[in-house]
Every structure is written in structure tokens, then in C-alpha cells.
């Protein structure tokens, strides 16, 4: 504890807050923080009947997403950050941190938030402390992690801990009135991987302020995982139970706002199937003594994208949000409830939009920000697995990779082996969404959905994945598949219904594991034949199914060129196995005389 006390004292002397508050993690403290936020105009309390114990926050219009352009990996050597990260000299970044923190918390409270990722005391859990001047961040961290006195006891007993500091960068002079969403135009998120530290300045939004989430649980954890022999991944985790009662554990990597939460809370349309939710965003995996990969969800809550979430797309999420939820940048109804695009088929006649302006369906702008969010305890999910907090995790059977691709990428592809599966994960490309800065709809390569979240050289990260394969028994390693729910026809409509119907793809995948489902070969890997998919009760035109399972060699030769150009950015840090996989793909495409199309059922 001596180091912790000295560190907090050093930050407090530099930032000069009015007061210091050590967060206990009690329910009474949580409620008091929410009460204060409402009194200060930073949160609005929603109608207690329609949405009990729930609150609405509206951010500054310039503080609505991850700030990837200002996210820094300050590793000791620039080459260790790699070409996909922003690098800066760590000594220069420490000097910048100190200059920005100088007086940054004047007029505010400095909160000390001890947090645990994973159950407190779990063998694979990791703990840390966040210093912040944002009570909104404190209550959000309290939902997303385990906080308070039990973590302090771990530190007192000698456990290693991660240091994180966050400031909104908006000091208050005596008598100065605060704003509803304090932030600063200048934003920085700086990671020091060698010393396991994070500094965030200027933003109060999402993962920019909840540092335990992407900053620690992915960027720093990926470095810890590399050094300690495990994996920290941007994945969901579910238990899939077959009609025969057999249980399979599935991890799936999708870029942000590409359907992770929907799949994590899937309600299957095929009779007899059941999904139990274990996690919706982050998975830590470790090869076990039994030769299998074991996975756990280190988080305690869901920080999900609201738009597009509705009873038809994710009924479990809607039920999870019954109350005790913090909503950010959604619209508010005149009755005191929330609304966003996709919550209902028909919007209300009148709303207050995410910027506090009057809104009607004729306003010509979204009522909720496209990256608006909900923060809620995972325990409220109606299909949460009973053992979702088990520190030992679950043995993993399947890994899925996917993204938003309107063309080329089939509905599902089976990897030939672990190296081919790593190649599929390494070459994910997806249309950019509103969850990150940049042009929405632009296609970018997102290896393992980790492009914004890997804390070291991505070439070394891919080599680490290959190494993990060698640490498992070949016949016990998870099978790997690539999926694409987002293929569109020439008329622009989605060809696959998605959501609960995705169980039909998972049923085929499980059938492959069990040896009961057939497949056809393609240059990309094994694909289902139309008769291999259970389409009972699904009104899917045969020509749509044909397109969903088609592989066009000419289009994929162009795709392979893009893959090759991307992999070249890793230079001599690209594992040789992935170069061999690309060469093999090009050879198979060249040998294909015509597009691979299934026979119609």
C-alpha cells in the first residue's frame, strides 16, 4: 500500500484537486455519486416507473467516440509499437502528462478507484487503480469492473497493479460554473507498456474515460499476455447448448458495432438450441494443462451500442436494460424514457435528441448519436450463464472471426487448420462504423478486430497467435471459422436475415465438429452446401443463398492483392506462415476456372 499511497499523493500534488475520495465500491456510495451528478446537471434521472434507477448523459458533440488518432503506445522502442499504432517517446509523453496534469483537477474531486478485471483474487484476474476527476467515469467503472475495498486488500497483500490516470482537462476556478459535460478540445490517451501505465486527458467518453476497458483489458493486457503466454482479445464469449444438451463454448471477434452484443445474447430460432451469455466484448484466453484453450470474460458489465438494438434484433439486451442503466447520447421521450433508432419501428412524434434539442421524425437528423451507448451490469442479462464469473473460465471449442462486408466474403468459411485460421483472423476487413473516428462505411483491415487495441507490434501479435496454437494439442485446439452476416445483393439489401437466424450457421459449424455436416471445398476454405444448412421455416430465395455461398476468384484475386499490401506493412515481423498462407490462397484462386457456386436446393 505504501507505493499506492505515495503515487496518489504525487498525482494529487500535481493536479491540485479540492478533495480526494477513495472509492469504497459500496451501493450507498454509488447512489450518492449518481445523486450528485443529477444535482450538478451532468445526468438526468429517467422516469422511475418506465426505467427504474436509470440515467441519461449527453456528451459534448466533440466527445462522442474513441480518439484513435490521439491514442499513443509509448513503448521504449518505436519498432515495438509497430506500423498500426501511433508511437511517441515515453520520456516526452511523461513530460506532456505532467504538464497537462499540472492543476488539471482544480475545483474538482480526485477519485481513487481500485478495480479488478475478473473476479477479485482470481488466478487470471488483473487489478489496477484509476485516478479520475470524473464522477461519471467512477460510476461507469463501478458497473464495468469490480471496485473498492476488496481490491485494496489485494494490493495490500502484495498483488501487482496497473496505474491509470484520467482527467477531463477542465479545471474550475473559484466561483466558475461547471458544464454538463466537462472535456477539453485537446485529447490524449497514452499507454506505457513497459511500466503498465495509462494516462488519458481531455475526454470523458466511454473507453477514453473507463480506462479499465480497452486501455487496460486490451492494450496493456495484450502486452501482459504476450509476456506471460496467454491472449487478451476483443471478443464475445457464449455457451451454445444443442438440442441434445451438448455444450460448446464459442469466442467471436468482430470490430466495434458489428454485432458482437447481438451474437452474445442470441435467441436461436431453431428449436432446442439455447445460448448462455458469458461476455460481450473482451475475452482472456490461456492454454491449459489439458491441452485446450480456456477463456474468461474479465468485465462485469456491458457497454453496448444502442442504435440498432431492439426487440427484433436483440430482445435479451432490451430486457437487460429494464433499469439500473446509464444511457449516453440517446434521445429522451416526453414521458421520461429513452429512445434510439431501431428501438421501435416507428419513432415517437416528439423527442429531445442527444444534444438536448427538440426532435421530430421530420428533423432530418438522427435522434440518438450513432455511437450512443448503454452501461449496465452483465448480471441483469436474462440469459447470463450461472457460472459467468467463474475465475477458471471455460474450455473453448470454437473461434469465429467476422466483420461487415457487403461483397465477396461468404456467409461462413471453415479454416483448414490453426495457421489458416490465424490467417483468416489476420485478414479481417470491415466497413468502418460510428464507434471510431473516420469515414463511416470505409473498408479497413482489422486483424482479429484488434487494430485499435493491440498494445504492441501487430506482426509480433500474429506470431504470438501462431505460438499459442503450438501450445495446445492439435485435436483439442478450438476450430476457427470466418462469418459474414452483412453480404448485400446488387439492390443493396442484406441477403441473410441475421440476428436469431444466425443459429443456422452455428448449427452447421457444430455439425462439422460433431462430424454430421457436409461441406464443399473452395479456394477460401470449406463452405456449407445449401443442403447442409437447416433452413426450415426460413423464406430465403435460392438465388440469395447461392450468392451467400459463392466465391468469385476474380474478385478474390483483387482482395488478395489488398491483403498482401496490408501484410507487407509488417515487414520482416510478419510470420512466415502467414506469407505462405497468402501464397497458397493466390495459387488456389488461380487454379479456380470459374466462380464457386453451390447447386441450388
Q: Which residue from 328, 274, 273, 293 is spatially nearest to 54, judged by alpha carbons?
A: 328
Please report the DSSP string for 184-196 in residue order: -SS-EEEEETTTT
CA distance 294 to 287: 6
The conformation of residue 213, written as its DSSP 8-state character, comes to: I
Q: Which residues contact 477 (CB under 8 A, 6 or more apart)?
A: 292, 293, 418, 469
Distance of CA 424 to the CA centre of its chain: 19
Name the H helices within 164-292.
206-209, 221-228, 260-264
Residue 541 in 3-state DSSP?
A: coil
User: Hey, what's the torsion of the CAs at 13, 16, 19, 23, to 10 degrees?
Assistant: -70
Q: Which residue from 7, 85, 47 is spatially nearest to 323, judged by alpha carbons?
A: 47
- What residues pair up with 488 in beta bridges, in sequence order? 494
Q: Which residues contact 444 (CB under 8 A, 6 or more apart)?
A: 429, 430, 432, 438, 451
Question: Angle between the 458-470 and 418-426 helix axes, to the nearest 10 degrees?
Answer: 160
CA atoms within 13 A on the CB side of 235: 26
Q: Which residue from 543, 485, 533, 535 is spatially nearest to 512, judged by alpha carbons?
A: 533
Angle at 53 between CA 331 and CA 51, to 5 degrees: 50
Question: Angle between the 135-144 and 27-39 helix axes, to the nearest 10 degrees?
Answer: 140
Query: 229, 256 in Cβ contact below 8 A?
Result: no
Q: What pairing do the DSSP bridges indicate for beta strands 351-352 and 358-359?
A: antiparallel
Please report the DSSP string for 378-392 in residue order: GGG-TTB-TTTT-TT
Residue 399 in 3-state DSSP?
A: strand
For the chain, the helix, strand and coil percentages under 3-state DSSP, each to the nearest 5 = 30, 20, 45
Active-site residue list: 258
> Where would I find the beta strands (DSSP E) of 36-124?
44-45, 55-57, 71-73, 86-87, 109-117
Amino acid at each position: 500500500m505504501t507505493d499506492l499511497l505515495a503515487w496518489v499523493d504525487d498525482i494529487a500534488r500535481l493536479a491540485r484537486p479540492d478533495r480526494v475520495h477513495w472509492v469504497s465500491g459500496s451501493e450507498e456510495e454509488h447512489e450518492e455519486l449518481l445523486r450528485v451528478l443529477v444535482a450538478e446537471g451532468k445526468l438526468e434521472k429517467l422516469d422511475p416507473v418506465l426505467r427504474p434507477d436509470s440515467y441519461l448523459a449527453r456528451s459534448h458533440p466533440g466527445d462522442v467516440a474513441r480518439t484513435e488518432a490521439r491514442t499513443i503506445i509509448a513503448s521504449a522502442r518505436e519498432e515495438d509499437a509497430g506500423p498500426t499504432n501511433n508511437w511517441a517517446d515515453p520520456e516526452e509523453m511523461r513530460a506532456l502528462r505532467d504538464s497537462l496534469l499540472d492543476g488539471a483537477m482544480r475545483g474538482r474531486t480526485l477519485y481513487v478507484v481500485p478495480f479488478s478485471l475478473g473476479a477479485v483474487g482470481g488466478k487470471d484476474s488483473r487489478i489496477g487503480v484509476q485516478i479520475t476527476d470524473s464522477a461519471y467515469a467512477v460510476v461507469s467503472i463501478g458497473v464495468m469492473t469490480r471496485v473498492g475495498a476488496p481490491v485494496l486488500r489485494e494490493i495490500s497483500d502484495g498483488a501487482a497493479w496497473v496505474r491509470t490516470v484520467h482527467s477531463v482537462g477542465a479545471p474550475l476556478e473559484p466561483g466558475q460554473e461547471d458544464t454538463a459535460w466537462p472535456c477539453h478540445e485537446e485529447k490524449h490517451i497514452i499507454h506505457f507498456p513497459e511500466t503498465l501505465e495509462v494516462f488519458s486527458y481531455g475526454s470523458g467518453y466511454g473507453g477514453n474515460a473507463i480506462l479499465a476497458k480497452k486501455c487496460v483489458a486490451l492494450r496493456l493486457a495484450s502486452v501482459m499476455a504476450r509476456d506471460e503466454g496467454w491472449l487478451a482479445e476483443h471478443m464475445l464469449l457464449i455457451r451454445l447448448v444443442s438440442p441434445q444438451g451438448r455444450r460448446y463454448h464459442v469466442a467471436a471477434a468482430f470490430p466495434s458495432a458489428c454485432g458482437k452484443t447481438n451474437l452474445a445474447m442470441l435467441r436461436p430460432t431453431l428449436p432446442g438450441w439455447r445460448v448462455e451469455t458469458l461476455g460481450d466484448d473482451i475475452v482472456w484466453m490461456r492454454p491449459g494443462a489439458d491441452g485446450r484453450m480456456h477463456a474468461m470474460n474479465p468485465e462485469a458489465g456491458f457497454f453496448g451500442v444502442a442504435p440498432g438494438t431492439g426487440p427484433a434484433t436483440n430482445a435479451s439486451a432490451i430486457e437487460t436494460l429494464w433499469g439500473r442503466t446509464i444511457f449516453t447520447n440517446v434521445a429522451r421521450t416526453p414521458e421520461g424514457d429513452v429512445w434510439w433508432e431501431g428501438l421501435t419501428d416507428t419513432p415517437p412524434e416528439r423527442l429531445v435528441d442527444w444534444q438536448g434539442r427538440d426532435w421530430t421524425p421530420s428533423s432530418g437528423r438522427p435522434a440518438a448519436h450513432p455511437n450512443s451507448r448503454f452501461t449496465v451490469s452483465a448480471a441483469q442479462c436474462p440469459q447470463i450463464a450461472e457460472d459467468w464469473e467463474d475465475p477458471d473460465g471455460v474450455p473453448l471449442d470454437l473461434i469465429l472471426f467476422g466483420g461487415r462486408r457487403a461483397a465477396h466474403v461468404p456467409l461462413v468459411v471453415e479454416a483448414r487448420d490453426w495457421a489458416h485460421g490465424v490467417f483468416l483472423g489476420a485478414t479481417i476487413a470491415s466497413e468502418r462504423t460510428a464507434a471510431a473516428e473516420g469515414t463511416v462505411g470505409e473498408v479497413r483491415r482489422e486483424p482479429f478486430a484488434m487494430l485499435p487495441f493491440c498494445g504492441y507490434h501487430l506482426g509480433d501479435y500474429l506470431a504470438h497467435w501462431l505460438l499459442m496454437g503450438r501450445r495446445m494439442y492439435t485435436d483439442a485446439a478450438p476450430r476457427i471459422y470466418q462469418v459474414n452476416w452483412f453480404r448485400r445483393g446488387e439492390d443493396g439489401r442484406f441477403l441473410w436475415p441475421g440476428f436469431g437466424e444466425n443459429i443456422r450457421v452455428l448449427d452447421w459449424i457444430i455439425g462439422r465438429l460433431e462430424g454430421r455436416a457436409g461441406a464443399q471445398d473452395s479456394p477460401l476454405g470449406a463452405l456449407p452446401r445449401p443442403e447442409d444448412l437447416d433452413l426450415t421455416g426460413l423464406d430465403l430465395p435460392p438465388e440469395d443463398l447461392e450468392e451467400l455461398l459463392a466465391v468469385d476468384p476474380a474478385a478474390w484475386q483483387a482482395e488478395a492483392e489488398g491483403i498482401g499490401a496490408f501484410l507487407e506493412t509488417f515487414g520482416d515481423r510478419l510470420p512466415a506462415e502467414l506469407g505462405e498462407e497468402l501464397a497458397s490462397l493466390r495459387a488456389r484462386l488461380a487454379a479456380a476456372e470459374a466462380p464457386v457456386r453451390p447447386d441450388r436446393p
